[in-house]
Amino acid sequence: MIEIIPAIDIIDGKCVRLSQGNYNEKKVYNENPLEVAKAFEDAGIRRLHLVDLDGAKAKRIINHKVLEQIAKHTSLTIDFGGGIQTEDDIDIAFSAGASMISSGSIAAKDRYLFVSWIAKYGGDKIILGADCKNRQIAVSGWEEPTSLYVVPYIGNYAQYGVQKVICTDISKDGMLQGPAIDLYKIIMNYIPSVYLIASGGVSCMQDVLDLEAAGVPAVILGKAIYENKITLRELIR
């Protein structure tokens, strides 16, 4: 069964969603992220993807207090990303209650540093963020394109011990137009060892079922939940 991972994206301490990573296309859904997290927990959800969008832009963790509150007042297993640039950032995230951290910018810009994190913290604690547009990696809150192609990029880090990868097709994120299933099939075909977490574009339960049918292990859901395209009751069932 596919693992369901709701997302909470944070700007100014509030639960928001962007469209295609555009900070100018921000919509606030709840001013209290803890309230949202508790609703997920009450519905039987066990995992949470928490993203510090302020941190992604500032290149340092900003909203660690939000992480701390959610970790303290729920039993959710949280992976935290956004603004993680140093080991100090990682230590802040783990101290605040994260079980895993996800990083994309450092992995793209400083391979040796990212590999050292895998060695120090373990491949099960460091999730590779592989966010792409036209199948090329983009970093720093998706505002910086790179020349790195997503499939060999993931394959390279799998050789260094990365176990989990969050892959977002930026062109689909927040658009509610369906996930990049063809891309995910290619990744799983070439790199079967990684636990692939699909992200972006899910618009309805059929999209989730299609991802499951394609063999994708896990999916992150955001806007589809907040816009009531998918209900928590449906996810439980």
Distance CA 23, CA 212 (A): 31
Establish how many alpha carbons lie within 13 A of residue 20's alpha carbon, considering only the half-sphere containing its beta carbon. Answer: 7
Of 59-73, 76-90, 141-155, 192-206, which gets the smallest average pLDDT? 141-155
Q: Does the annotation mark 207 as catalytic?
A: no
Nearest residue to 26 (alpha-carbon basis) of 44, 35, 41, 14: 14
Nearest residue to 191 (alpha-carbon basis) of 227, 133, 151: 151
State the pLDDT confidence band at 174, using cuts at 50, 70 and 90. Answer: low
Domains and CATH numbers, the chain: 3-236 (3.20.20.70)
How confident is the model over 24-38, as pLDDT tens digits?
778 899 999 999 999
Choosing from 79, 131, 173, 207, the catalytic residue is: 131
Q: Does the annotation mark 131 as catalytic?
A: yes
> What global pTM score does this model have?
0.92
Q: How far is CA 111 from the centre of its chain?
A: 20
Q: Which residues of 153-169 are buried (b: 16+ CB within 10 A; e: fewer)?
A: bbebbbeeebbbbbbbb
